[in-house]
Amino acid sequence: MDDVKTMRSQTVEALKRSLAEATAQRCDMRFKTASHQLKQVRVLRDVKRIIARLNMVLCEKK
Protein backbone atom coordinates (compact mmCIF):
# COMPACT_ATOMS: atom_id res chain seq x y z
CA MET A 1 0.00 0.00 0.00
CA ASP A 2 3.02 2.28 -0.11
CA ASP A 3 2.84 3.00 -3.82
CA VAL A 4 1.11 6.26 -4.75
CA LYS A 5 0.06 4.87 -8.14
CA THR A 6 -1.95 2.10 -6.50
CA MET A 7 -3.47 4.61 -4.09
CA ARG A 8 -4.63 6.79 -6.96
CA SER A 9 -6.35 3.85 -8.64
CA GLN A 10 -8.47 3.13 -5.55
CA THR A 11 -11.89 4.55 -4.77
CA VAL A 12 -12.44 7.27 -2.21
CA GLU A 13 -14.16 4.83 0.16
CA ALA A 14 -11.22 2.41 0.02
CA LEU A 15 -8.79 5.25 0.68
CA LYS A 16 -10.80 6.39 3.68
CA ARG A 17 -10.81 2.84 5.06
CA SER A 18 -7.05 2.60 4.59
CA LEU A 19 -6.60 5.97 6.27
CA ALA A 20 -8.66 4.86 9.27
CA GLU A 21 -6.63 1.65 9.57
CA ALA A 22 -3.32 3.51 9.33
CA THR A 23 -4.44 6.06 11.91
CA ALA A 24 -5.44 3.31 14.33
CA GLN A 25 -2.12 1.57 13.71
CA ARG A 26 -0.26 4.83 14.40
CA CYS A 27 -2.14 5.32 17.67
CA ASP A 28 -1.32 1.77 18.77
CA MET A 29 2.34 2.24 17.89
CA ARG A 30 2.53 5.49 19.84
CA PHE A 31 1.32 3.74 22.98
CA LYS A 32 3.74 0.87 22.45
CA THR A 33 6.60 3.31 21.93
CA ALA A 34 5.76 5.15 25.14
CA SER A 35 5.74 1.90 27.12
CA HIS A 36 8.96 0.67 25.45
CA GLN A 37 7.26 -2.34 23.85
CA LEU A 38 7.98 -1.32 20.26
CA LYS A 39 11.49 -2.32 19.23
CA GLN A 40 11.52 -0.81 15.72
CA VAL A 41 10.62 2.85 16.19
CA ARG A 42 11.30 3.54 12.52
CA VAL A 43 8.05 1.77 11.60
CA LEU A 44 6.14 4.62 13.26
CA ARG A 45 7.74 7.10 10.87
CA ASP A 46 6.79 4.92 7.91
CA VAL A 47 3.16 4.78 9.02
CA LYS A 48 3.10 8.56 9.38
CA ARG A 49 4.35 8.88 5.80
CA ILE A 50 1.67 6.49 4.56
CA ILE A 51 -0.97 8.61 6.31
CA ALA A 52 0.41 11.72 4.63
CA ARG A 53 0.32 10.04 1.22
CA LEU A 54 -3.26 8.89 1.76
CA ASN A 55 -4.31 12.42 2.74
CA MET A 56 -2.58 13.81 -0.35
CA VAL A 57 -4.37 11.40 -2.69
CA LEU A 58 -7.71 12.08 -1.00
CA CYS A 59 -7.24 15.83 -1.51
CA GLU A 60 -6.40 15.24 -5.16
CA LYS A 61 -9.62 13.30 -5.66
CA LYS A 62 -11.82 16.10 -4.26
Per residue in 24-55, pLDDT tens? 999 999 999 999 998 898 999 999 999 999 99
- The neighbour count for residue 33, using CB atoms within 10 Å, is 15
The residues near 16 (Cβ < 8 Å, ≥ 6 apart) are 58
Check which CATH number belongs to the domain holding 19 and give it: 1.10.287
Q: What is the pLDDT of residue 29?
A: 94
- Res 56 pLDDT > 90: yes
- pTM score, two decimals? 0.86
Categorize the per-residue pLDDT at 57 as very low, low, confident or very high, splitting at 50, 70 and 90. very high
Q: What is the pLDDT of residue 11?
A: 92
Angle, helices 12-34 vs 42-61, to 10°: value is: 160
**Of the candidates 30, 26, 27, 18, which has an alpha carbon nearest to the alpha carbon of residue 47?**
26
* Domain membership of residue 51 as a residue range: 4-61
Q: Is the dihedral of CA 7, 10, 16, 21 positive or negative?
A: negative
